[in-house]
Structure formats: C-alpha cells, structure tokens
Structure 1
Amino acid sequence: MELRGDKAVLRPVTEDDIAILDRIVREPAVAAWWSPPDDYEDNLAVVHEGEVVGAVQFAEENDPEFRRAGIDIFLTARCHGQGLGADAVRTLARWLVRERGHHRLTIDPAADNTAAIRCYGKAGFRPVGIMRAYWRDHRTGAWRDGLLMDLLADELT
C-alpha cells in the first residue's frame, strides 16, 4: 500500500525505517508528546522528498454500531509547521473514508499541544471536547488532558 498526498507519501514501515523513527520519536519536540512505541508494526512511514520524516498510525473500530477509525502521527521537528502533518493526516483520512468505509474519524492530541491541534484543524478535524486526565505523560508519570477531535466523512475535503 502506498498513499500519495500533495507533500507526503505514506507507505508501510520497513526494517530500514526503524532506526530513523526511533531517533525521531526521541527528539525533544516529539518526545514531549510521544513515548517510544514497542514496535512500528501498525504504522505507515511518512516520506517527504524521498526521506522518512515520521510515522502515522490508525486504529479501526469495526463494530457496525460504532464504526470509526482513529489516527495519530509524529514528524521530525524540522518538518513541523510546513503543512506536511496536515497533508499526511488528510491523505490517510481520505483512504480511511473512501477505501475502508469509515464515516467518522477521531484524533486525540494533548489538550495543550497547540501545534498539533492547529495541524489537525487544517486537515478538517474539529474539537469535540476535553478528555480529563486522558493520557499518562511517560516523562513525568502525570495524567494529562487530551482533546478529542473528529472529522465526518461528508466534511472531508
């Protein structure tokens, strides 16, 4: 599988990508929001101009009464603020709606991660509400709030 956006290409993570992704997820600007994953099995590499610059993952709820998918992404700090994250999220969102048949997508950044919230807004996601004490900060052990955002299929651009 390979998904092409305006700026990003999404493809399965290969063995060669793992060291790169491990380095990226440990960058201070990324590690503030992400703990290093155990593996990248459920991730797609985000490739920009031939270089792996991050990863995006999705999870699907297939119960017909609650069918939806969730998305999460991280990019190397040097690619932040360039529209690459929004393009990668939008590209994956289109695939999840058009090819996988989801009518609703969610994303759940930390409530104080303003850059991520702005990025997801550019991809079409809207704030739904605050999820109190939602995620545990791997650096401090403290519970922190998350922002639930969603995007309905008919809102996808």
Structure 2
Amino acid sequence: MELRGEKVVLRPVVAGDGEVLDRIVREPEVAAWWSPPDGFDGMLAVVLGGEVIGAVQFEEETDPEFRRAGIDIFLTARRHGKGLGTDAVRTLARWLVQERGHHRLTIDPAAANTAAIRSYRKVGFRPVGIMRAYCRDQRTGTWQDGLLMDLLGEELA
C-alpha cells in the first residue's frame, strides 16, 4: 500500500526505517508529545522526497454499529510548520473514509499541543471535549489532558 498526498507519501514501515523513526520520536520537540513505542510495525512511514520524516498509525473499530478509525502521527521537528503533517493526516483520513468505509475518525492530541490541534482543524477535525488526565508525560511522570477531536467523512476538507 502506498498513499500519495499533495506533498508526502505514506507507505508501510520497512526494515531500516526503525532507526530513523526511533531517532525522530526521541527529538525533544517530538518526545514532548510522544513516548517511544515498542516498535514501528504496522505504522506507515511519512516520506518526503525519499526521506522518512515521521510515521502515522491508525486503528480501526470494525463493529458495524460503532465503525470508526483513529489516527496518530509524529514528524521530525525539522519539518514542523510546513503543512506536511496536515497533508499526511488528510491523505490517511481520505483513505480511511473512501477505501475503508469509515464514517467517523478520531484523533486525540495533548490539549496543550496547539500546533497539532491547528493542523488537525485544517483537515476538518473538530474538538469534542477535554479528556482529563488522559496520558502520562513520560518526561515528568505527570498526567496531562488530551483533546478528543472527531471528523465525519462528509466534513473532510
């Protein structure tokens, strides 16, 4: 599977991507919002001009009564603020709606991650509510709030 956005390409993580992704997820600007995962299997590499600049993942609820998908993403700090995360999320969101048949998508950034929230709004995600003490900040051990955002397929920008 390869998904082409306006600027980035999403493709399955392959051997050799793990070292790059591990380095990215440990950058201070990324580690502020992401804990290093146990591995990157099942994620999609975000690629710009042949360079792996991050990863995106999704999970799906396939029960017909609750069918929906969730998205998470991280990009190297060197590429923040250039619309690349927005392009990656929009590209994956379109695929999840058009090809996988999901009518509703969710994303749940830290409530303090204003840059991510701004990016997700550009795709069409809307705030649903604050999830109090949602995730532990791996740097400080304290709990931080999350913002639940959702997008209905017909609202996709």
Corresponding letter in the other structure for 1:137: D
Aligned equivalent of 2:2: 2
SS at match of 2:16: helix
Aligned equivalent of 2:137: 137
Aligned equivalent of 2:83: 83
Percent of aligned positions with the same letter in both sequences?
A: 78
TM-score by length of 1: 0.98
SS at match of 1:111: coil
Corresponding letter in the other structure for 1:106: T
Give the number of equivalent residue pairs. 157
Corresponding letter in the other structure for 2:119: C
> Aligned partners of 1:145, 1:80: CA distance in 2, in Å?
22
Q: Which runs of 5+ in 1 are unaligned?
A: none
Aligned equivalent of 1:114: 114
Aligned equivalent of 2:71: 71
SS at match of 2:93: helix
Q: CA deviation at 1:48?
A: 0.6
> Aligned partners of 1:40, 1:117: CA distance in 2, in Å?
24
> Aligned partners of 1:12, 1:138: CA distance in 2, in Å?
27
Corresponding letter in the other structure for 1:69: A
Q: CA deviation at 1:65?
A: 1.2
Aligned equivalent of 2:18: 18
Aligned equivalent of 2:151: 151
Q: Is residue 2:90 matched to residue 1:53?
A: no
SS at match of 2:82: coil
- Alpha-carbon displacement from aligned partner over 1:75-120 (angstroms, at most 9, x marks no partner): 0001000000000000000000001000000000000000100111
Corresponding letter in the other structure for 1:63: D
Corresponding letter in the other structure for 2:81: G
Q: Is residue 2:108 matched to residue 1:102?
A: no
Aligned equivalent of 2:40: 40
Displaced runs of 4 or more, over 2 A: none
RMSD: 0.6
Q: Which runs of 5+ in 2 are unaligned?
A: none
